[in-house]
Amino acid sequence: MTNLVYLDNNATTKIDERVLESMMPYFKEEYANPSSMYNFSKNSSDAIKQARTKVRDFVNAKDEKEIFFTSCGSESANMAIRGVLNYNKNKKHIITSKVEHPCVLNLYQALEKQGYKVDYIGVNSNGELDLEELNEAINDDTALVSIMYANNENGIINPIEKISEIIKSKNKDTKFFVDAVQAAGKIPIDVQATGVDLLSISGHKFHAPKGIGALYVNSKTMITPLIIGGHQERGKRAGTENTPYIVGLGKAVELAQEGLKYELTEVKRLRDKLETNIINKVYNARLNTGIATNRVPNTTNIGFEYIEGELILLHLSDIGICASSGSACTSGSLEPSHVLRAMNVPFTAIHGSIRFSLSRFTTEKEIDYVIEKLPPIIEKVRSISPYQKELEQLKQLRG
């Protein structure tokens, strides 16, 4: 097989042809500024309205006025976090988890330098959030809690409804922001049932193009805008609307909603087949999350002891297989992943951990190809590892 086997869908996804098709008229003939007064702009403004309704339905918001279009997941997170804090300047305590995406974690670290007191909640060895620690951290001064829906590196799903209950029972004025970038399109999202105040999504993680995101802000939550200018997005995010991309996001959420059942059954089946086979075929391969955890259906993170993940990735890349050794933003650096470190993954496996993330376009043939090709690659890379004695002991232990 010489084709590409793309198993890095948590980094970004292929654009769906139907999404691209829906966008094309708004690059060509329907180029009007949606805010203009003449009839020509009506198709553009109607298309944006329809896309907003589709996103509202996708997250089950009450009102389309609670949906704001942005350029990406990182912008949505910044708009939510800075927006809430700038509106409530008297409160200086904020909470997040140790395993958030850098767009939240690095922002929190910057806020710490500006005088905010930050609590970073830990996770257990499966990557599950310590709810007791969260409960104890919330106090009268807590302005905001930011916890991701699903983790980009290990796929662990946080119990959002339970977290929401904990927060509101300790301080009903504390706002709850959920980064749902890795949950959208993989599991159902319902902002009303889960009681979140703000929630972000990003189109390029579910087959829309890069450069479009959205933020849900419930009608009771006030935010100060980041981008000040024109009246667009009800004054909360100025800038002429990116009509084609907004239309594309609308189509992508519609397709994601229709495809949820497939994600939860077929994509999960292929993911399970991949991880079970790899763990059975390669001695001392460890599923970093443990098997019984609540995970999004497309993600697996497997640690191969005593070798470098980057070397595995290079060998995979040579035969057309794309995977990742951490989140896309941190690859390129040899720093061990902050997520795996927070989970206390043993030092011997942390550097040799690989994330495979599937999508609705992943085929059985591709998974079979990886199952066939990966074990000999691991053997080959291990044969030049400086830890031969340790590897031999592990092999014998395994029998």
Burial pattern 167-193, b for ≥16 Cβ within 10 A else e, equals beebbeebbbbbbbbbbbbbbebebee
Strands (E), 132-275: 142-146, 175-179, 198-202, 213-217
What is the maximum span of the chain, computed from C-alpha positions, in angstroms?
A: 77
Q: Is 9 in the site for ligand PLP (CB under 6 A)?
A: no
In angstroms, give the least distance from the CB of 103 to ligand PLP: 5
Task: Tell me the closest approach of the beta carbon of residue 212 to ligand PLP, in angstroms.
Answer: 8
When binding is defined by CB under 6 A, the residue of 119, 179, 275, 366 that contacts ligand PLP is 179
Residues 58-77 that bind ligand PLP (CB under 6 A): 72-74
- 3-state SS class at 113: helix
340/381 with CB nearer ligand PLP: 340
Q: In the bound complex, what is the minimum distance in angstroms from residue 126's beta carbon to ligand PLP?
A: 18
Beta bridge partners of 277: none
Which one, 199 or 378, has the nearer CB to ligand PLP? 199
Using the minimum distance from each CB to ligand PLP, give the nearer residue, 204 or 355: 204
Q: What size, in residues, is the chain?
A: 399
103 classed as catalytic = no
Q: Which of 34, 127, 213, 309 is close enough to bind ligand PLP by CB under 6 A?
A: 213
* Contact call for residues 176 and 162 (beta carbons, < 8 A): no
Catalytic residue among 72, 103, 322, 329: 329
Sequential DSSP letters for 166-206: HHHHH-TT-EEEEE-TTTTTTS---HHHHT-SEEEEEGGGT
| Cβ contacts of 114 within 8 Å, gap of 6 or more | none
Of the pair 212, 378, the CB lying nearest ligand PLP is at 212
The span of 57-65, 175-183, 280-288, 316-324 binding ligand PLP (CB under 6 A) equals 175-183
CA-closest candidate to residue 59, choices 171, 239, 184: 184
How far apart CA 310 and CA 205 sit, in angstroms, is 23
Q: Which residues contact 18 (CB under 8 A, 6 or more apart)?
A: 251, 255
- Show the binding pattern over residues 93-132: x = contacts ligand PLP (CB under 6 A), - = does not: --------x-x-----------------------------
Nearer Cβ to ligand PLP, position 80 or 381? 80
**Binding residue count for ligand PLP, defined by CB under 6 A:** 15
> Closest CB to ligand PLP among 182 and 232?
182
Q: How far is the CB of 187 from ligand PLP (least distance, A)?
A: 13
Residue 221 tokens read as: 């939550």
**8 binds ligand PLP, rule: CB under 6 A:** no
Site string for ligand PLP, 308-337 (x = CB under 6 A): -------------------xx---------
Please, what is the minimum distance in Å from the beta carbon of residue 8 to ligand PLP? 11
Q: Can you tell me the distance from the alpha carbon of 341 to that of 334, in angstroms, rounded to the nearest whole number?
A: 13
Closest contact distance (angstroms) between CB of 377 and ligand PLP is 26
* Residue 209 touching ligand PLP (CB under 6 A): no
Question: Taking CB under 6 A as the rule, does residue 248 contact ligand PLP?
Answer: no
The CA distance from 194 to 340, in Å, is 27
Q: For the purposes of burial, counting CB atoms within 10 Å of the CB of 20, is it exposed (0-12), middle (13-18) or buried (19 or more)? A: middle
Residue nearest to ligand PLP (CB): 73
Residue 282 is given by DSSP the state S
Strands of 299-304's sheet in order across: 285-287, 299-304, 353-357
Looking at 148, 267, 340, 391, which residue binds ligand PLP (CB under 6 A)? 148
- Nearest-angstrom CA–CA distance, 319 and 335: 26
Candidate segments 35-43, 88-96, 133-141, 176-184, binder of ligand PLP by CB under 6 A: 176-184
Which stretches of the chain bind ligand PLP, using CB under 6 A?
72-74, 101, 103, 148, 152, 179, 181-182, 202, 204, 213, 327-328
What amino acid positions are annotated as catalytic residues?
329
